[in-house]
Chain A
Amino acid sequence: MSVDIYKINPEFRDIMPQEIIDLEDNATWAGESVEKRGISDLTDKKEILEEHSLCAGCPEAAALRYILASLPVPEETIIVNSTGCTSLMFPHIALHTVHSMFGNQNAVASGIKRTLGWRFPDKTKDVVVLAGDGATIDIGLDYTLQSFFRQEKITTICFDNEVYANTGGQESGSTAKGQVFKMAPKGKVFDKVPMWELAVTSGCAYSVKLTASAPKKVAKVLREAVLIAREIGPTYIHLYTPCILEIGLAANEGLWEMKEQDKDRFEDFKYVSDAASDYLKKCKKEGLL
């Protein structure tokens, strides 16, 4: 439909909550122009994420704000999430979002993407999966990888905090070897699962590992991933968003932790298939990037 669905019936305007009015008046939608959205909007525009209930200083909350501010066409974007800390934020997003269960997010997203392709053959509707490391890599690994094998045209973003945070700090497949967490009281005995590499061997056209320390970099990767997923195939973003609570940091220390990890477990990894690379060049020429 377009951004028109966010227009308030004038008859009801006087009884609408302020944040709904702000969505119409001061949020950034793609509308006609795809260039105007971006990280810089975070300072003075209405965000499509309303106030949320995550911990103060949570890097995951910051990352989600960067992502929502840089979606190419939010009004035509469906977001599928999973159980975990992120599911506390999703009811506050002004887009069509789905919380289904724990681990089946890529399966639900596959059904949505294929059906929207069938129902709206002349429209571009982006489907983006946002889930934690437990959902993406442990309980949902089958569904994550199978959606890559099937070449589902969706973008999968893993918010990797290297722990089951929402359930109280248990070891996950993404935890670093040796780390002591609940359920691994003697320290984790196997290596961190290299999901960004599995994404490549499983058929993703684009796989990037990074931290959320640099907002503009997150925005660029997100935009590239969503555009490639439209035309080429599945894309994967592995994003470090530490749980400051579980690793004992203060509210203002998340950024420094991410900067540290930029040089360690989350040092740059970027794979772009040849077809995706050619497509990105074309997007640049057309002003989409």
Chain B
Amino acid sequence: MSIKNMTEEKNWSGQKLVSTDYMLFEAPREKHFMTGSEVLKEAVKRCTVDASVSYPITPQSEAAHLIGELWAEGYVGVYFRGENEFGVMSEVQGCSMAGARTITTTSGPGTLRAMENFPTWSGTRIPCQLVLMARGINSPLSIQPDNLEVSFLLETGCMIWYAENVQELFDMSIAAFTVAEQPDVHVPIITSVDGFFVSHTREAVMLPPDDIALRPYNPYAAPLPPIDSEMPPGRFLRDPFVMKSNYISYATHASWQWEVRSAVERSKPYARHYLNGLAHTTGDEDAEVAFVACGTAAHQAKEAQRELTKLGVKSKVVKLRTIRPFPHEELLEAVKDVKYIFVPEFNIVGWLEKEVSKSLYGKCDAKIVGRPRVAGGMSMPAEAILQEVFENTGLKKGA
């Protein structure tokens, strides 16, 4: 296998190169039955991926093995196991800076071990993708689903998307490369799912054929030159004002940080297009109760919404698909007429409830209730959500 086998029409593994629009919206699809880990392999297979670095940690290990199989099968250019997640994320940075379309996966404690890398990724404007299969973090030791780790990633300057199920993981992880690689975006993207609930659950998914793949990444359309000695070194490498104690260096650092966050905001129109919207709303248009959630919590909220309908209570579910950038406009539009907002979450700190409250502050009169919150691997049955609704509103069953 060699990159030299790539032509205008085909990539190095012989797949026909197609646009992201064709891949996501036009190509015929067939039904398959697979887990989140398996579907990620199918997504990577269709993305002309140059490099991936892996490390074992439950529950993302299988996804990382399967990307390794793609390397062995000739679909991925570079693949190896790194020494730990800090090293892996640094290796990913090296691959991406050198011009590779790069993907990796991690979970829970691995995410925290790698932490210093994530703001460095965004600061160097690399468009790599991390698929996060969220799990609990220590102590005590837990391998169960719990998305507390996402709260640590919120201010790293990386985009964060959240997929609800196996199908969304497939579509999102393909769209993620395309949006992250836009020259006016060009920041890393973290595609999150809840570990086990998505990584290990087998579901029906609709997939396009596997003899097509995305066009390759073009590192020369990046806001910073790739580190490959094929272009003149970037001016910022030659002008050493950062790292000095003077006003210009402070101002440079500050404006650089602003620019990273602006780049994340600039991803919105692309994400709206490729994700069919930053938020999806289902249920009653004239609802009194709204559930704002992401990931599998949104799935459980939909079940609660159906139960409420049977009980005569009008409700809706607003599923947030992007967390960074945060879909302020979409959220406000969806909840502006409701009386109660519930934010069910798979963590004890309620990071999404804080995001929702901050976003709606002064703009919406609804009472915001950050419950239910389950953690440590506990499940979130619809009954638990309904109980919170009846305890925190004047609504009655059969009302």
Contacts and interface: CB of A to CB of B under 8 A. Distances in A.
Interface in B28-65: 50-51, 53
Contacts of B90: 100-101, 104, 107-108, 111, 143
A75 B229 CA distance: 7
A45 to B, nearest CB: 18
Contacts of A121: 2-4
A118 B50 contact: yes
Interface stretch (B144-152, B236-244, B347-355): B236-244
Contacts of A15: none
A125 B228 contact: yes
B50 A119 contact: yes
A111 B233 contact: no
Given A94-B238, A96-B227, A118-B78, A143 B51 contact: no
Contacts of B124: 100
B228 A108 contact: no
A289 interface: no
Interface string A142-176: 11001000100000000000000000000000000
B242 A116 contact: no
Given A5-B232, A104-B87, A142-B87, A98 B97 contact: yes
A205 interface: no
A251 interface: no
A112 B238 contact: no
Given A97-B233, A118-B3, A142-B83, A91 B240 contact: yes
24 contacts: A1-B230, A53-B244, A80-B94, A87-B243, A91-B239, A91-B243, A94-B238, A95-B233, A96-B228, A96-B233, A100-B124, A104-B86, A107-B87, A107-B88, A107-B90, A110-B94, A111-B93, A112-B94, A112-B227, A115-B51, A115-B100, A119-B50, A119-B100, A122-B4
B91 A107 contact: yes
B267 interface: no
B142 interface: no
A5 B51 contact: no
Contacts of B95: 111-112, 114-115
A246 interface: no
A217 interface: no
B84 interface: yes
A146 B240 contact: no
Interface of B: 2-4, 50-51, 53, 77-78, 80, 82-84, 86-88, 90-100, 116-117, 120, 124, 225, 227-233, 236-240, 242-244
Contacts of A98: 94, 97, 227
A92 B238 CA distance: 5
B87 A78 contact: no
A118 B2 CA distance: 7
A113 B98 CA distance: 8
A183 interface: no
Contacts of A138: none
B249 to A, nearest CB: 11
Given A1-B231, A98-B97, 17 more contacts: A5-B232, A53-B244, A91-B237, A93-B237, A96-B233, A97-B233, A97-B237, A107-B82, A107-B90, A108-B93, A111-B90, A111-B92, A112-B94, A115-B95, A115-B100, A121-B2, A146-B87
A56 interface: no
B371 to A, nearest CB: 39
A109 interface: yes
A76 interface: yes
A41 interface: no
Question: Which interface residue of B53, B88, B91, B225 has the most chain A CB atoms within 10 A?
Answer: B91
A77 interface: yes
Interface in A48-81: 50, 53, 75-78, 80
Given A78-B227, A107-B87, A91 B99 contact: no
A6 interface: yes
Contacts of B88: 107
Nearest to A8: B232
A110 B91 contact: yes
Interface in A118-134: 118-122, 125
A233 to B, nearest CB: 15
A100 B120 contact: yes
Nearest to A126: B229
Nearest to B119: A101
B229 A108 contact: no
Contacts of B91: 107-108, 110-111
Contacts of B93: 100, 108, 111
Contacts of A75: 229
A115 B98 contact: yes
- Shortest 7 CB-CB distances between A and B: which pairs? A111-B94, A91-B240, A107-B90, A115-B98, A104-B90, A146-B83, A111-B95
A88 interface: yes
Nearest to B2: A121
B237 A5 contact: no
Contacts of A114: 51, 78, 80, 94-95
